[in-house]
Chain A
């Protein structure tokens, strides 16, 4: 990453952050406007008795949706990165093959199945959703952290040690900064899947933006489905646009 592409200290790079800014404005705008669009949705779905979903305010659903994802992602990031660090230390290396195999096999499990299997164990509601999000969100983070640390050139590590750096200095000043873009890419995957899975969480009783969609499917109300789907879509794209700015471009 060259010096120009780093965010300046004195001046906030507005142009660079234009896309996330636009997406979040759109999200906020939709939240404000949506409850007043009754006539529009009535025109789209004339059979609907009530054109706007009113069981909960969209703002509350969005807040709760974000809260679930934020809690789960924080736990997943902390646990995932520390687990990956532990198995790459000399004393934890015995577990490296096991953890890395587990992370790649676990990722073949469909998120819906993980979500559904959390229910017999924890009942319905927000808790099983968070647990499923954490379990599933851990995998890309662990995997990418392992790849990121693994890709640090052994010669560089050796040189750092030769300069008299302690093991923890090597970790925090060399390995983690070099692995950061790959770890961040893992977090991005994890959060994207999290937002999608949290939406499905409303089938197991979590209050999320999936609620209007599920209610719409059950009552045959296309207007509800559209309202939920538009908000979830814009939310996912908003969050993703932030990650797109944080990560160095692939091109």
Chain B
């Protein structure tokens, strides 16, 4: 919390930029609000003070204040845009400065800490998270934040953004889908022929060790050569650059966590349970489908989670070899030194990774709970 105070008081919270390239004029909280800024300082001060001698009641109040800050943030920004950005200057925009990010980060930390300390029903955190995302989504959709530099970048390429988002998700989903099927087969093969275990593990960890940029590069040349030689391959879209090497590399990276988790999940099922299922007269097929697989599901989902999060990040690198997706904005932005464009690519990637991680963790947890209740 002291960090939030320092950030609020000293760092520039936001900036006013006449256009995209000229760096903005930074403004601290005091410059924005004058003496009224003292009211806002009370927020982190209050949260910090309440957490000092923690009782669950005080922590609830702290949670309320943090929530207020998080919900209010987009609307405060909207107010800033309204007051300080000249509506008649078409290229004027409001940038977010270091102070804003520090404050956002500290309140996030406070939320994580409160989540650890307060024993609230798990569903309530989903509601709170939804409320916060909803507040931002509403502010963004209603147009009051349109003068924000990030939104200016988005408005300039909203079609491309939607395409990139859809494409990124599609790439990740197909990589995870393919590796789930392949990984499942490999794990079954490893169970049947135990001599394969070492070899498969060795090859898969070798692939995992090769840096993504290098693997994309290594796939590029042979694929270009193949597409050149065989017309039918080129006809189905195999090329040196683009989606083909990206998908192959993503599947390659995904196979290790997927195969290992599936294998461990299937092997770790309590032998006593299997024995009693057999004793009840179930056929091997029934034992596998009705007992072993459902019991292994939580660990299997864990593999899907690791793979998905990893693939979301790697798909961003794939933009370098022309695979499209959100990484395109990141590298375009880096090339043009347009940092808001970088953010437009990087922020959705991070949000996507965190959300997918949360959802799949919750799913695995629910399945575990279900297995225990049966």
Q: Measuring CB to CB, which residues of chain A are less than 8 angstroms from any residue of chain B?
A: 44-45, 97-98, 101-102, 105, 108-113, 116-117, 119-121, 124, 192, 195-196, 199-200, 203-204, 210, 213-214, 216-217, 222, 225-226, 228-230, 232-233, 236-237, 240, 251
Q: Using Cβ atoms and an 8 Å threshold, which residues of chain B touch A108?
A: 309, 353-354, 357
A101 B116 Cβ-Cβ under 8 A: yes
Q: Are A229 and B353 in contact (CB under 8 A)?
A: no
Q: Which of B196-225 contact A (CB under 8 A)?
A: 198, 206, 208-218, 220-221, 224
Whole-angstrom distance from the CB of B13 to the nearest CB of chain A?
15
- Asked whether A113 lies within 8 Å of B221 as measured between CB atoms, the reply is no
Asked, given contacts A108-B309, A110-B316, A233-B211, whether A228 binds B217 with beta carbons under 8 Å apart, the answer is yes
A116, B330: Cβ atoms under 8 Å? yes
Task: Say yes or no: is B98 at the interface (Cβ < 8 Å to chain A).
Answer: yes
Query: B233 → chain A, closest Cβ, in Å?
Result: 17
Q: How far is the CA of A11 from the CA of B354 in the complex (A)?
A: 50
**Chain A interface, DSSP helix/strand/loop, else mixed:** helix
Q: Which one, B209, B241, B316, contacts A113 given CB within 8 A?
A: B316
Selecting from B65-73, B135-143, B184-192, B342-350, the interface stretch reads B342-350
Q: How far is the CA of A165 from the CA of B85 in the complex (A)?
A: 65
Residue B9 interfacial (CB < 8 Å):
no
CA distance A222 to B272 in the complex (A): 57
Cα–Cα, bound, A194→B314 (Å): 14
Complex CA–CA separation, A109 to B310 (angstroms): 9
Over the window 104-128 of chain B, the binary record of Cβ atoms lying under 8 Å from chain A Cβ atoms (1 yes, 0 no) is: 0000010011011100000000000
Q: Determine if B213 and A199 form an interchain contact, defined as CB atoms under 8 angstroms apart.
A: yes
Does B300 lie at the interface of the complex (its beta carbon under 8 Å from any beta carbon of A)?
no
On whether the beta carbons of A196 and B213 are closer than 8 Å, the reply is yes
Specify which of A102, A112, A199 is in contact with B214 (CB 8 Å cutoff).
Answer: A199
Q: Which of B216, B224, B320, B331 contacts A222 (CB 8 A)?
A: B224
Task: Give the contacting residue for A116; candidates B221, B345, B357; CB below 8 A.
Answer: B345
Decide: B217 and A226 in contact? CB cutoff 8 A.
yes
CB of A223, distance to nearest CB on chain B (Å): 9
B320 cross-chain contacts in A, Cβ below 8 A: 200, 203, 214, 217
Looking at A119, A192, A195, which has the most chain B CB atoms within 10 Å of its CB? A119
Tell me whether A240 and B217 are in contact in the complex, defined as CB-CB below 8 angstroms, given that A112-B317, A116-B345 are known contacts.
no
Given A112-B327, A237-B209, A240-B209, A229 contacting B317 (CB threshold 8 A):
no
CB distance from B93 to the nearest CB of A (A): 15
Cα A119 to Cα B342 with chains together (Å): 9
- Distance of B122 from chain A, by nearest CB (Å): 15
The answer on a CB contact under 8 Å between B330 and A237 is no
Q: List 28 A-B contacts (CB under 8 A).
A: A44-B221, A101-B116, A109-B353, A109-B354, A111-B313, A112-B327, A113-B316, A113-B330, A116-B342, A116-B345, A117-B346, A119-B339, A192-B209, A199-B214, A200-B212, A203-B331, A204-B334, A214-B320, A222-B220, A225-B220, A226-B218, A228-B217, A230-B214, A230-B218, A232-B211, A233-B210, A233-B214, A236-B214
Min CB distance, B216 to chain A, in Å?
Answer: 8
In the bound complex, CA of A118 to CA of B318 (Å)? 20
Q: Does B269 contact A (CB under 8 A)?
A: no
A199–B115 CA distance with the chains assembled, in angstroms = 37
What is the CA–CA distance of A76 and B339 in the complex, to the nearest angstrom?
27
Contact string, B219-240, partner A, CB cutoff 8 A, digits 1/0?
0110010000000000000001
Interface residue B296 (Cβ < 8 Å from any Cβ of A): no
Q: Is the CB of B218 within 8 A of A98?
A: no
Residues of the B chain whose Cβ atoms lie less than 8 Å from the Cβ of A203:
320, 331, 334
A108 to B217, CA, bound (A): 25
Closest Cβ of chain B to A226, distance in Å, is 5
Q: B289-315, CB under 8 A of A: which get 1 and which 0?
A: 000000000000000000001001110
B321 on interface, CB distance cutoff 8 Å: yes
The residue of chain B having its C-beta at the shortest distance from the C-beta of A228 within the complex is: B217
In the bound assembly, the distance between CA atoms of A195 and B221 in angstroms comes to 22
Residues of A within 8 A of B241 (CB): 217
Query: What's the Cα separation between A213 and B216 when bound, in Å?
Result: 10
Centre residue among B211, B218, B330, B346 by max chain A CB count within 10 A:
B211
Chain B residues within an 8 Å CB radius of A120:
339, 342-343
Contacting residues, chain B, for A222 (C-beta < 8 A): 220-221, 224, 240
**Which of the residues A45, A101, A232 comes within 8 Å of B213, measured between beta carbons?**
A232
Instruction: Establish whether residues B113 and A216, one from each chain, have CB atoms under 8 Å apart when the complex forms.
Output: no
Chain B residues in 8 Å Cβ range of A199:
211-214
Q: Contacts of B208 on A, CB cut-off 8 Å?
A: 192
With A and B bound together, what is the CA distance between A204 and B339 in angstroms?
A: 12
Contact B214 A101 (CB under 8 A): no
A238 to chain B, nearest CB (A): 10
